[in-house]
Amino acid sequence: MPEPPASNRSSGPPDMTAIGMIGLGLMGAAMAERVMAAGRHVVGYDPDAARCEALREAGASVAKSAQAVAEQCRAIVIAVYSAAEVETTLPHLTAAADGSASVVLCTTTCGPDDILRIAACATASGVGFVEMPVSGTSAEVRVGTASCLLAGDETTLSSVRDIIDILFPRSVVVGQVGDASRTKLAINLILQGNRAALAEGIVLAERMGLNGHAFLCAARASAAYSSVMDTKGEKMLEQDYRPQSRIFQTLKDAELIFQQAAQHDLPLPLMTAQAALLRRAILLCGADSDSAAVIEAIRQPANAGDIR
């Protein structure tokens, strides 16, 4: 794998007011844009050299490693795919150049057991930890309409409140570490169901001969309204599956939901049907497609018997 480009800042003492960003995918890049738009400097890292170059061209610094980010920043946002990637990253975030303790803000959607283990690892290493999963797409993060769920020690939260407010004008403190993950998974269950229901309603409207755009307008004004109509409705109608949130990550979150349901002996019939649609949509449109592509699993069912 090619080495990411080095920092575009001149050598000298690190600017410890910079905000670190580890993980520069859709979500990480959107958060970095918000930080820079607020006049704060970003030091970023991702093993993908192209993502690093895009961040450097946007005016941020790029570090050679996660540890190099920690050496330059007291506050570090982690926006990677999985709990396993967070755990791999954490041991490298303990050594700020000026000797100050780092605070990690973890946006990765994890299972509650995973996040508790991650937080314990951070505490053992002397790193402050804030659980901060995101509710919303990268497009919503970019314009400030996404929200975050916060959990952690009150003192630690207060120490990075200015950063949280830049990233997420809408935030909710939900309790102790683990509670944000639990809340996020339950919210995602509802959100994924809303998205699948919208897709099914649009396809039914189209099959009955309605104009899809006119139907969406009527649905937005109805008792059935949900914000998914605003974020995904037009994408479904236009078959625009350029990713704002990748469908394989939606399925990953669904699997985390099933794990929790199994632990609590809870069947999830609607979620089970919805996850089957996600798997079908991935086969049809590819894993990197936007989550709006779930509609293609309804437009193109696996066999004629799927349409009743």
Q: Note the pLDDT of residue 95.
A: 55
Give pLDDT, residue 93: 84
Phi, psi (5° rounding) for residue 85?
-70, -35
Question: Nearest CA to 42 among 163, 129, 141?
Answer: 163
For residues 228 and 152, give the distance between their C-alpha atoms in angstroms, rounded to a whole number.
Answer: 29
pLDDT of residue 96: 59
> Residue 226: which residues within 8 A CB-CB, separation 6 or more?
194, 198
Closest by CA to 44, choosing from 85, 77, 92, 90, is: 77
pLDDT given for residue 8 in this prediction: 44
Global pTM reads: 0.88
Say what the pLDDT of residue 254 is. Answer: 97
Cα–Cα nearest to 105, from 185, 46, 167: 167
CA separation for the pair 158, 77 (Å, rounded): 15
In Å, the largest CA–CA distance within the chain is 68
Angle among Cα 283, 181, 256 to the nearest 5 degrees reads 30
Could you tell me which of 160, 144, 147 has the C-alpha nearest to residue 105? 160
Look at residue 11 in the predicted model and tell me its pLDDT. 41
pLDDT of residue 15: 55
Identity of residue 22: I
Run of H or E residues at 186: helix 179-207
User: Residue type at 172?
Assistant: V
| Bridge partner list, 19 | 42, 75
Which of these, 171, 179, 164, lies nearest to 75 by C-alpha position? 164
Residues in the chain predicted with pLDDT less than 50, given as ranges, are 1-14, 304-308
Q: Is residue 211 helix, strand or coil?
A: coil
pLDDT for the residue numbered 41: 95
Rounded CA separation 139/157 (Å)? 25
In three-state secondary structure terms, 300 is coil
